Structure 1
Amino acid sequence: MGSDLTRPARAVRLEATNHDGSFLGKTVSDAKFAAGKDAGFAFADILFAIDLGTEIVFGDAYPDWRGNLYDIQMIPDPSTLVEWKPGLDSVIGDYWLKDGTPVPICPRNLARKMVDRLASLGYTATTAVEIEATLFEESIQEARKLGYRDLTPLGGSTGATYHLARSADWGGYMEAVVERLDRVGIAWEAWTDEAAPGQTELNLAPADPITLADSWARTKQIMREVAFDQGHTVTFMAKPTAGFGQGAHLNLSLHSGGVNQFFAADGPSPLMRHAVGGLLATMPGNTSIALPQITSYRRLVDLTGPPTTVTWGVNNKTAAVRAITGHPKYSRLEYRLPGADVNPYLAVAGVLAGVLAGIERKIEPPEQVTDMAWCLPDGHGVTRIPDTMSKAAAALDADPLLREYLGDEFVDFWVASRRWEWMEFHTKGGDPFAELSQWESTRYFEFP
């Protein structure tokens, strides 16, 4: 994906996510980029202090570096430089403090921290993601006028899966998306129509975790830009209508010496079992990261696709963690919890933290679920996934494993930001009894 930093362009767009997963940046001239590409570029720390409604978030202990509009440095990663379009390059970077240490709540740095800890154990991770999004006929300007409600699904109003009967506008949109992906060097494997009207799933090819998260963030931007160009609208909101929601399943395998360590001829390898054990042990707390917004929790309905119980099973798509076994190359874990609105880097960081905890502590998982993991009666021996933002935030706050791996400052910051989001919903017009409130549509349809 990398490009030559000396290749001339009229401008370079600096890119990174904030904690909520919004793709942020600024565009600088080629001369400015050449002068600052090593030392970095100043970004106000307020990007970690405001919510999606541009309100200052209160409720956590602000460290010295945050809260007074101090500058932090965004240092670009030269391996990510690409030509975005003629005359404009783009580059992804990380946030650093002026003393040369990483911003402890920087999503990309947090994911890299987990990758480095895995490497210290002798493992490299291979990851892939299934991105779900919903497309609408209306332009973004029309969608805004309608309050993002009662929009027309692109490709037809009936729900289906794998159907080829979508109208040409839907297929033309996806063809334009993958053409853009090819142009900027993002490897993809497949796209298909999904369950809800207008919904699509786009699968990115396996890559190392940081490359995958970079590609994931850029893919969402490309999908938005193609929609704008074609006069349509796309959203990654976890549940943009009262119908089906949409997720982002994360697939993972671990390798050492070029060998897939999750493979065993007779089923899950011991390493895979320990990884599953860690993922389930941290799942209640990780729910807050995987399901970041109010609407994220409206997906958690039995029999509709998303997992609702802290469970695992071999090739069981109703469980939260699906183990694919028996193949030296394709043996892997599918973490099915995250919503489409998850921050890609935090999704990676949270999952790798769970895997690390399981491996380092040799956590054994509970018995796998061999039947349907939805609608399990009380006393069946399984725990339900936290189904509200406040329950999930409390679980993360109390999770000693995630605190150890992700750091106290990140956990305290994230928990405070989710409690703030809960308060904004309940005091600014959100309706907890609606299938989908106008407050949620306004706040989440375009961001992240």
Structure 2
Amino acid sequence: MTETLSSADAAEIPDYPMTRASGCPFDPPPRLKTLQEEAPIHRVRLADGTTPWLVTRYADQRAVLADPRISSDPDNLGYPRGVPAQPGGSKISFILMDDPEHARLRRMVTAPFTVKRIEAMRPAVQKIVDDRIDEMLAGPNPVDLVQAFALPVPSLVICELLGVPYSDHDFFQDNSKIIINRASTPEQRAEALGSLTRYLDDLVGSKLDAPADDLLSGLCERVKAGELERSDVAQMGVLLLIAGHETTANMIALGTLALLENPEQLALLRETDDPKVVAGAVEEMLRYLHITHNGRRRVALEDIEVGGQVIRAGEGVIMPNDIGNRDPEVFDDPDSLDLTRDARKHVAFGFGVHQCLGQPLARMELQVVYSTLYKRIPTLRAAAGLDEIPFKHDGAVYGVYELPVTW
């Protein structure tokens, strides 16, 4: 492992994650753009003092994410955690595992996320969206779009899919915020993860006794068949519950703000009745906003070459998809939001065997939201200036803490 550098070299290494420019909340940090222009790969320094490699260009990121010599397992020496390991900490299910165990567990939950199954949910999601808009219109004005709409919609959807009582949403939302907040201590993160795991384990226990028609009950049948342990199902539940509401909620709120800041693009969505136009707009929003902004993290199991640089076995690698999705070699005028562009090749959902399992659900939810909210409230506008809105610079998932809107 080659993490030791001379003092002169070490002084030139930038810290990561990096700071966004004031007044440019939708763009990657300017230093990232500079690094991308200078070279395809650089050393960066994490909070724990380690100096993994940062891969900045789209093609190289996809190559690394698809390389079987790269591991997602944080137990491997050299994995770029950035924070101390949690004593006795557990992984959040298969997302931090390698094949074959990753593939075995992931296969257990692929069926509910097929495009056909997700499309069958569209009418139910449409009703959830319409009901929340009805409540907004009947309630106070202005209102915080995050609490009134962006957070409840995906939470209701994932609760219905998993079989989690929505009445417990405050509990799982509060704990998930702690888990994904960079400012949380290892102890706080471990406590929150433990609380969620115990909650899901109790829920799994009740479904083992009285199964229903939901994803967790289906996994309980695999426990009875000896294919899974009860703890496996609880950990899968934690992963799906957090991933199922946090990223989509932030895409709804941050996406709405970005559209309000780009009224000509918002008009395209408001005025179209073409599902293909809406679907294309969602892909561009995913490319432009890059909600997961701490980079996908891996460690090399063998020596590999990336962008002309040899990464040694045991060295950490980070792929920041925010700058990958702004690569001018792939996307013309990448810093502009253009809902008419073909952005389907973005890496917002990753690439390779670990690409996001729930992407069909996220796409469908965003299509319903983006094709409904601005039509039903055509005069929707921000009730605060851009400089007054609190952005989530401190989290693993980027977005806004609140978005005051009026109409």
- TM-score tier, shorter chain, comes to under 0.3
Ranked by relative contact order (alpha carbons within 8 Å, sequence separation 6 or more), the top structure is 2
**TM-score, L = length of structure 1:** 0.23
Relative to its length, the structure with more helix (as a share) is 2
Provide TM-score, normalisation by structure 2.
0.25
